[in-house]
Amino acid sequence: MEQNIKPGVPVTKLKIRENNFYLLLNISLIFILPLLSITSEFIINKATINWELAAKWFVFWAIGIRLFVAGVKQASSPEFTATKLFNLKHRESYVVIRELGFANISLGMMGILSVINDNWRLIAAITGGLYLGFAGLQHCLKKTDSKNEVIAMLYDFLVFIVILLYLILKLLCCIPSI
């Protein structure tokens, strides 16, 4: 098992710093970066701030960028996900995590591309939302092994709930009034 142990730095301090970075990254992808993007589009393009604009940037950051970056990390460094997120100690798990990375890259790319096409956004929201909902459920069904896994579970469920609300709003706007 590969570890990034730095001489003179206690392992507990490394874990705390790593968890704080992971937490900050997830908060940024759900709240900060979508809000900055919405604000930028409002200022630069004079866009109307509404739930469609919010969904555009939420899907881009919370699904697209999050899954793409996670996929690149999993494909290039599966030991991080194995050891830091799932507390797996066997290198044999790395091949499965690398394949998970390829799936995350693919779903993430759909979320990234959704910023240019509303129809793709709906598909990215459905597939990415379902994926994160199932991933969150999977985290619940097992005993959490790390703070990172708890952060991942909360992220997954929060994104799932927001996407579910987006899909309900989208559906309600498409129902013809009687």
Question: Where in the chain are the domains?
Answer: 11-174
Q: Among candidates 116, 124, 3, 134, which has minimal Cα distance to 66?
A: 124
DSSP letters spanning 125-161: HHHHHHHHHHHHHHHHHS---SHHHHHHHHHHHHHHH
Q: Looking at residue 122, what is its pLDDT? A: 95
What pTM was computed for the model?
0.85
Give, for all 178 residues of the chain, the pLDDT tens digit.
444 444 454 444 445 555 789 899 999 999 999 999 999 999 999 999 999 999 999 999 999 999 999 999 999 999 988 887 777 889 999 999 999 999 999 999 999 999 999 889 999 999 999 999 999 999 899 887 778 889 999 999 999 999 999 999 999 998 776 5
Q: Within its chain, how far is the Cα of 85 from the centroid? A: 14
Q: Within its chain, how far is the Cα of 50 from the centroid? A: 22
CA distance 95 to 25: 25
Q: Looking at residue 15, what is its pLDDT? A: 54
Q: Looking at residue 5, what is its pLDDT? A: 41
Please give the C-alpha separations between residue 54 and each of 26, 57, 145, in angstroms, as whole numbers: 17, 6, 33
Q: Per-residue b/e over 158-175, b at no fewer than 16 CB within 10 Å?
A: bbbebbeebeeebeeeee
CA distance 2 to 148: 18
